[in-house]
Amino acid sequence: MARDPQGALVALNRFGFGARGGAAGDFSSAASDPRGFVRAELDRPGAALLDAPGLQSTPDLAREVFDYQREVRQQREMAAKAAQSAAATPDDKSADEKLEPRPEAMSGAMSPDAMQPNPPRKEPKPLNVIQKTYRAEALARIQRATMAECGFVERLVAFWSNHFCISANKGEMSRIWAGAFEREAIRPHVLGRFGDLLKAVEQHPAMLFFLDNQQSIGPQSRAGLNRKRGLNENLAREIMELHTLGVHGGYTQVDVTSLARIITGWTFAGREGRLGVPGTFVFNANAHEPGPQKLLGKTYEDVGLPQGEAALADIARHPSTARFIATKFVRHFVADDPPPALVAKLGNVFRKSDGDLKAMTLALIEADDAWHAPMTKMRMPYEFLVATGRLMGRIPEDPQRYLGGLNLLGQPLWTPAGPNGFADTNAAWAAPEGLKLRLDIASQVASRISEAIDPRMLLDVAAGEAASAETRQTIERAESRQQAFALLLMSPEFQRR
């Protein structure tokens, strides 16, 4: 096969996370067979699964949170008691000790004291189990993305994780579960069937917690009649609007309410474990709305949990779902305005294969449209930072460096502003302030590269012959390696995909 540099750039950037500087052969591999390079990862058994040492299951993490919360409560109670007894015998000194240590005065930055080898740093508060877990999960994800050969499967995981997003900001439960949710509900299915993915996501405790379904009670259920609490439509609405049919997918408010009734009782076992092992998905028949429900023109008899599962399975097969998913998929990987022919092609594959996501994914990378469309999309911040780490050939060890960058650039990990996830268009990521921040970050990263790095060589690693003459010249003419590296990271060849 003829060498295809432009195809290599598309393979690496549009479908993957960019070339790895440490391996230095990614561009050549991709150029010799771009489609094969992207496809290779898909056939590896369990390619999307992530099982790093120390990462725990959702029920185990639930127990960690419950333990942690109990500890905090006990400490607070002890502190309250101590304060009570202290109030009896006032003691100014103990009050002083409670004050936070004052940060070093900034005006002293250049005083002789500031010349000490290690400027005194405020002792950081030790991380609690929730923060530790979040970081460990983030590290495992970033390491996997950094080391993958092409990264296509990790890009798929990121896409589906954003499609079926939760927010780690919802509460302690969701922060500790964010990584486990992706590992347990998303990863096993990104190359499987959409219906299975949908079921796994909507039954995962993290999603039930994020969209409040554990609070939703069938009004005529035993619990509803007893406690006078009722439906919460949040999850049902987002399932149809954001996860499957799309906002104009042909459903009505009546359908939303129906689906909400159908999935009442979908919850997770709580701290006391009355319904099951704490932190596991359970069907609470006591909260489930009894009776048949009509949804999208079809009646679903009340058979308990299978009622909702049948409804989800049908929604997954709905033509609107095929169209909505194909559109989002092509928008993410190809263009803000997805080519209609490609969307139609993928939609057909989705429908005819009963939502086989591997078949749809293969159809994407077989389609010439997907390869020949101009590279107009901006890398999302996560892709930009991971691609940078890959080019530097550095295995991430401290997730904070990435998490901080993601916060700055407006894509905090697993923490979108709403259930619709992070935007997937250039308007969101090629904005003036964002671009300036990327430049600041690129300069900061570049200021730490050593003289042993030749940016001209790294441009070849990243873009090979597909690099433009202008970019090559800009890098060659930079006045230092550090500047050249910053310019490489900001070049269209590195920012666009």
Q: Are 346 and 330 in contact (CB under 8 A)?
A: yes
| In the complex, minimum distance from the CB of residue 219 to other proteins, in angstroms, rounded to a whole number | 44
Helix (H) or strand (E) holding 281: strand 281-283
In this complex, which beta carbon is closest to other proteins, that of residue 99 or of residue 110?
Answer: 110
| In the complex, minimum distance from the CB of residue 449 to other proteins, in angstroms, rounded to a whole number | 4
DSSP-assigned letter for residue 127: P
Burial 207-228, CB ≥16 within 10 A → b, else e: bbbbbebbebbbeebebbeeee
| In the complex, minimum distance from the CB of residue 35 to other proteins, in angstroms, rounded to a whole number | 26
Dist CA 461 CA 480 (whole Å): 19
Dist CA 250 CA 252 (whole Å): 7
In this complex, which beta carbon is closest to other proteins, that of residue 271 or of residue 401?
Answer: 401
SS3 193: strand
SS3 299: strand
Please provide the size of the chain in residues: 497
Tell me phi and psi for residue 137, to 5 degrees: -65, -45
In this complex, which beta carbon is closest to other proteins, that of residue 85 or of residue 107?
Answer: 107
| In the complex, minimum distance from the CB of residue 297 to other proteins, in angstroms, rounded to a whole number | 45
| In the complex, minimum distance from the CB of residue 406 to other proteins, in angstroms, rounded to a whole number | 9
In this complex, which beta carbon is closest to other proteins, that of residue 129 or of residue 428?
Answer: 428
Pairing mode of beta strands 293-295, 298-300 = antiparallel
Please give the span between the terminal C-alpha atoms of the chain, in angstroms, as a whole number. 23
Q: Are 42 and 152 in contact (CB under 8 A)?
A: yes
Token pair recorded at residue 254: 């009546």
Token pair recorded at residue 32: 């010799």
Distances (CA, A) of 94 to 82, 98, 125, 292: 11, 7, 20, 64
Dist CA 156 CA 477 (whole Å): 37
Binding site for other proteins (CB under 8 A): 21-22, 109-110, 112, 114-115, 117-119, 385, 388-389, 392-394, 396, 398, 400-402, 404-405, 407-408, 426, 430-437, 439-441, 443-445, 447-456, 468, 470-471, 474, 476-484, 486-487, 490-492, 495-496
**Vertex 166, ends 362 and 183: CA angle to 5°?**
55
| In the complex, minimum distance from the CB of residue 414 to other proteins, in angstroms, rounded to a whole number | 16
| In the complex, minimum distance from the CB of residue 400 to other proteins, in angstroms, rounded to a whole number | 5
Token pair recorded at residue 175: 């922060």
In this complex, which beta carbon is closest to other proteins, that of residue 222 or of residue 496?
Answer: 496
What's the distance, CA 213 to chain centroid? Answer: 21
Q: Are 203 and 226 in contact (CB under 8 A)?
A: no
What's the distance, CA 333 to chain centroid? Answer: 16
In this complex, which beta carbon is closest to other proteins, that of residue 249 or of residue 389?
Answer: 389
In this complex, which beta carbon is closest to other proteins, that of residue 93 or of residue 448?
Answer: 448
In this complex, which beta carbon is closest to other proteins, that of residue 74 or of residue 447?
Answer: 447
Q: Are 414 and 237 in contact (CB under 8 A)?
A: no
| In the complex, minimum distance from the CB of residue 144 to other proteins, in angstroms, rounded to a whole number | 16
Relative orientation angle of helices 381-391 and 152-163, to the nearest 10 degrees: 160
In this complex, which beta carbon is closest to other proteins, that of residue 43 or of residue 398?
Answer: 398
In this complex, which beta carbon is closest to other proteins, that of residue 89 or of residue 111?
Answer: 111
| In the complex, minimum distance from the CB of residue 385 to other proteins, in angstroms, rounded to a whole number | 8
What's the distance, CA 274 to chain centroid? Answer: 32
| In the complex, minimum distance from the CB of residue 179 to other proteins, in angstroms, rounded to a whole number | 19
Token pair recorded at residue 41: 């990862």
In this complex, which beta carbon is closest to other proteins, that of residue 268 or of residue 485?
Answer: 485
| In the complex, minimum distance from the CB of residue 4 to other proteins, in angstroms, rounded to a whole number | 21
